[in-house]
Structure 1
Amino acid sequence: MKHPAYSQLRPVTANAGVVLAPNPSYAALEGTNSWVLRGEGDSVSVVVDPGPQDEGHLNVLWSKATGPDEGNPANIAVVLLTHRHHDHAGGAHRFRQISGVQVRAFDKQYCYGGAEPLQDGEIISFEGLTPTIEVVHTPGHTADSVSFFIHSQGGTDDSDVEAIITGDTIAGRHTTMISETDGDLGAYLDTLATLRDRGSNVPLLPGHGPDQPNTAEIAQRYIDRRERRLEQVKQALAELGEDADVSEIVDYIYTDVDPVLRDAAAQSTRVTLRFLQKK
Structure 2
Amino acid sequence: MRAIALPALEDNYIWLLVAPGGDALVVDPGEAGPVIQAVAEGLQPVAILLTHHHNDHVGGAQALRDRFGLPCHAPADERIVAADHRVGDGERIRIDSLDLELDVLAVPGHTRSHVAFHGGGHLFCGDTLFSLGCGRLFEGTPAQMLASLDRLAALPGDTLVYSGHEYTEANGRFAAVAEPDNPARDRHMDRVRSLRAQGRASLPSTVTIERNCNPFLRVDHPTVATTLSGRLGHAPRSRMEAFAALRQWKDVFHP
TM-score (norm. length: structure 1) = 0.61
Q: Distance in 2 between matches of 1:193 and 1:87?
A: 25
Q: Return the alpha-carbon distance in structure 1 between the equivalents of residues 53 and 24 of structure 2.
A: 22
CA-CA distance at 1:117 after TM superposition:
0.9
* Match runs of 1:6-17 below 5 Å: 14-17=1-4
Give 1:102's aligned residue: 71
2:66 and 2:143 map into 1 onto residues whose CA distance is 38
Q: Does 1:19 align with 2:11?
A: no
**2:144: which partner in 1?**
187
- 1:25-174 equivalences in 2 (<5 Å): 31-41=11-21, 44-51=23-30, 53=31, 58-65=32-39, 67-68=41-42, 74=44, 76-112=45-81, 115-151=84-120, 161=121, 163-174=122-133
Letter in 2 for 1:171: F
Identity %: 22
Select 1:218's aligned residue among 183, 194, 210.
210
Point out where structure 2 has 5 or more consecutive residues left out of the alignment. Answer: 167-201, 237-244
Shift of 1:225: 4.9
What secondary structure is seen at the aligned counterpart in 1 of 2:143? helix
Which amino acid in the other structure matches residue 3 of structure 2?
A
1-side partners of 2:228 and 2:76: how far apart?
30
> Matched residue of 1:117: which SS?
strand
Contact persistence 1:62–1:98 (CA under 8 A):
no
Task: Quote the Cα distance in structure 2 between the aligned partners of 1:131 and 1:165.
Answer: 13
Read off the aligned partner of 1:187 and give its amino acid letter.
Q
Deviations 1:207-241 (A, max 9, x none): 112214422441562233597587567538x9xxx
State the distance in 2 between where 1:79 and 1:110 align: 16
Q: Report the structure number with the largest CA radius of gyration.
A: 1
Give how far 1:113 is off: 5.6
**Superposed CA offset, 1:176-220 (max 9, x none):** 3111xx212101111111111114122211111221442244156
Amino acid in structure 1 at the alignment position of 2:207: T
Given that residues 16 and 39 in structure 1 are in contact (C-alpha distance below 8 angstroms), is that contact kept between their aligned partners in structure 2?
A: no
TM-score, normalised with respect to structure 2: 0.66
| Number of residue equivalences | 203
Q: Write 1 or 2 for the structure with the bigger share of strand.
A: 2
Match of 2:154 in 1: 197
Paired with 1:99 and 1:116, the residues of 2 have a C-alpha distance of 16
Q: Compute the RMSD of aligned alpha carbons.
A: 3.3
Structure 1 CA distance for aligned equivalents of residues 203 and 155 of structure 2: 17
Q: Which runs of 5+ in 1 are unaligned?
A: 1-13, 25-30, 152-160, 239-248, 255-260, 267-279
Over 3 Å counting, the alpha-carbon distance change for 1:216 and 1:145 in structure 2 is farther
Q: Residues 225 and 265 of structure 1: is their aligned pair in 2 closer, same or farther, counting only changes over 3 Å?
A: farther
Letter in 2 for 1:78: A
Q: Which one of 121, 136, 161 corresponds to residue 177 of structure 1?
A: 136
- Matched residue of 1:105: which SS? strand
